Amino acid sequence: MTDISARRLARLDANRDLLTRTLRGIEKEGLRIDAGGQLARTPHPAALGSALTNEHVTTDYSEALLELITGTQDNVAGLIGELEDIHRFVYANLDGELIWNQSMPAALPDEAHIPIAWYGTSNTGMLKHVYRRGLAHRYGKTMQCIAGVHYNFSLDDRIWSLLEQPGATDQERRSAGYISLIRNFTRYSWLLMYLFGAAPALSKDFLRGREHPLQSLDGDTLYLPHATSLRMGDLGYHNPAQSQLKPCYNDLSTFLQRLYAAVTMPWPAYEAIGTHRDGEWIQLNTNILQIENEYYSSIRPKRATGRCERPITALAERGVQYVEVRCLDIDPFEPVGIAAQTARFVDAFLLFCATTDSPYFDDAGFCSNSASNFNRVVNEGRKPGLELLREGAPIALPLWGKELLDRIVPYAELLDAAYGGQAYRQAVAAQAGKLDEPQSTPSARLLDELKRNGASFLEYTLAQSRGHAQSLLDTPLGADKAASYADKARASLAEQAAIEAGDTIDFETYVSRYHQALKPPSCAVPRA
């Protein structure tokens, strides 16, 4: 540990009560499927409320792709408990359907029959719908059915001064701190893919006849023998237009300038598609990104936005509020897709990333090395003898992984000291065995299960999803909680109706004003 890191750790220890103010939230995606494992073709269940306005249950790309959203919680037990409650509420209203508990999709119909999410007739709802039409034209509907777990994380604002982040104001120090965290996350996030990647296989129909490097496990299942997460590789959400958006940033200003360029710069392939067809909108514009949310990354700096406010504008004016970790696969062995132990490890990992030295990516090679390490672990992380590049020099993955775990332990101990107990230290200690025994990783366990059971990817995941559904149905919500979620669902339907009734301009004007609301970023946030 460097002198800087040791000093920062000591300051955190002296102010450990601030760590109990750490906030985390989860957005967990999952496809609705029928009893046979086929993608549900039914509308979003009315009993779940409005996908536009229900704060806990919405949809992502497809009408069938549920997104279950917790509030922000100051402890992991409360976080996982709330996620379980939302799942119980959803399952009580699915009318025999299931949630596919895997990141790679269930059996999908032809692209034309994958339903795009619908949010009603309001201008706000139509903007969300047309944006998704654009995704269909740009990337295809199949890729948009991939699911994951997004983990939102924020520290108390006072911590950034303790960590000696630069800036004349709390906002500047906070933004510099989160960007510093993101730089370290970029360096070390390969470790998350090794420890928690759980998508080494998929159904062959997902590829729609494309060429691929995968091997056949059976007539339905394709896989890579040492992969951890096909979702995060080139078979997942991959787009050459976004390749120019480099993932390594030294400050918020650079990130916002590049993102602004992407949402304002036309892209020839998208210009060829156009924005209208047969008198209907098919995408919001022809730029590299239609809107900021189209930018795909394993982690994002985030700021809550007001209605119709653009994320770039919010970040430029008010700074980073939290980070969103987007690379976690759905854990197929957990009923709600993530274990409390995983969440605690992620907390300790992110605190380590926030506190430890985070040099600038002044050498483009070090940035590309980080991206290469991540991709290598995604595709062959369990390969015997695999080496990664650390500061340009090769190092065995298990050796570097153990060194990182040793460096994360003090932050787990600090969280335990703040919250009480030993759950954080145990969460880190539990990962060491995966580096000694790659067969104990979720990706290897899944492949072993498929081989041992002689089941296809579809058959195995359907059985897992049924079992998880039953375990949640066997422990239903109490009457008061069930009524509360139902009340919120009904209120969200009324809220959607009020939004639709309140529109006073046509959609063309609304889209034009939405684009005009985007302001060029002018912030100059100090480097961390």
Domains by residue range for the chain, with CATH: 3-516 (3.30.590.20)
Residue 1: per-residue pLDDT: 74
* DSSP state for residue 438 in the 8-state scheme: G
**Vertex 287: Cα angle to 285 and 292 (nearest 5):** 90
In tens, the pLDDT along 214-241 reads 999 999 999 999 999 999 998 765 666 6
Task: Identify the helix (H) or strand (E) that includes residue 203.
Answer: strand 201-203
Structural tokens at position 310: 């653009």
State the Cα–Cα distance between residues 233 and 207, nearest whole angstrom.
13
Whether 458 has a pLDDT exceeding 50, the answer reads yes
**Vertex 30: Cα angle to 26 and 33 (nearest 5):** 160
Structural tokens at position 500: 């639709």
In tens, the pLDDT along 294-340 reads 998 999 999 999 877 899 999 999 999 999 999 999 999 999 999 99
Residue 525: per-residue pLDDT: 42
Q: How far is CA 398 from CA 7, 42, 387, 435, 457, in A?
A: 28, 46, 9, 5, 29
Q: For helices 457-473 and 76-91, give the axis angle rounded to 10 degrees.
A: 100
Whether 23 has a pLDDT exceeding 60, the answer reads yes
Contact present, 193 and 381 (Cβ < 8 Å): yes
Residue 4: per-residue pLDDT: 87
Beta bridge partners of 24: 73, 153
Q: What is the mean pLDDT of the chain?
A: 94
Whether 410 has a pLDDT exceeding 50, the answer reads yes
pLDDT top residue among 368 and 330? 330
State the Cα–Cα distance between residues 418 and 104, nearest whole angstrom.
37
State the Cα–Cα distance between residues 341 and 239, nearest whole angstrom.
33
Mean pLDDT for the stretch of residues 382-408:
97
Task: Evaluate the CA torsion angle 254, 259, 265, 271 in order and state its sign.
Answer: positive
State the Cα–Cα distance between residues 317 and 320, nearest whole angstrom.
9
In tens, the pLDDT along 52-90 reads 999 999 999 999 999 999 999 999 999 999 999 999 999
Q: What percent of the chain has pLDDT over 90?
A: 90
Residue 438: per-residue pLDDT: 97
Structural tokens at position 397: 């993955």
Residue 527: per-residue pLDDT: 45
Whether 524 has a pLDDT exceeding 50, the answer reads no
Contacts of 506 (CB under 8 A, 6+ apart): none
Whether 463 has a pLDDT exceeding 90, the answer reads yes
State the Cα–Cα distance between residues 215 and 113, nearest whole angstrom.
28
Mean pLDDT for the stretch of residues 94-111:
95
Residue 247: per-residue pLDDT: 59
In tens, the pLDDT along 118-130 reads 999 999 999 999 9
Whether 163 has a pLDDT exceeding 90, the answer reads yes
Q: What percent of the chain has pLDDT over 70?
A: 96
Residue 243: per-residue pLDDT: 67
Structural tokens at position 365: 């090679």
Residue 528: per-residue pLDDT: 42
What confidence category does residue 367 fall into, taking pLDDT thresholds of 50, 70 and 90?
Answer: confident
Annotate 91-113 with DSSP letters as a single string: HTTSTT-EE--SSS--B---GGG
Residue located via tokens 């919001």: 284
Residue 242: per-residue pLDDT: 72
The region of weakest confidence among 23-27, 227-231, 524-528 is 524-528
Annotate 389-419 with DSSP letters as a single string: EETTEEEEHHHHHHHHHHHHHHHHHHHHHHH
**pTM, two decimal places:** 0.96
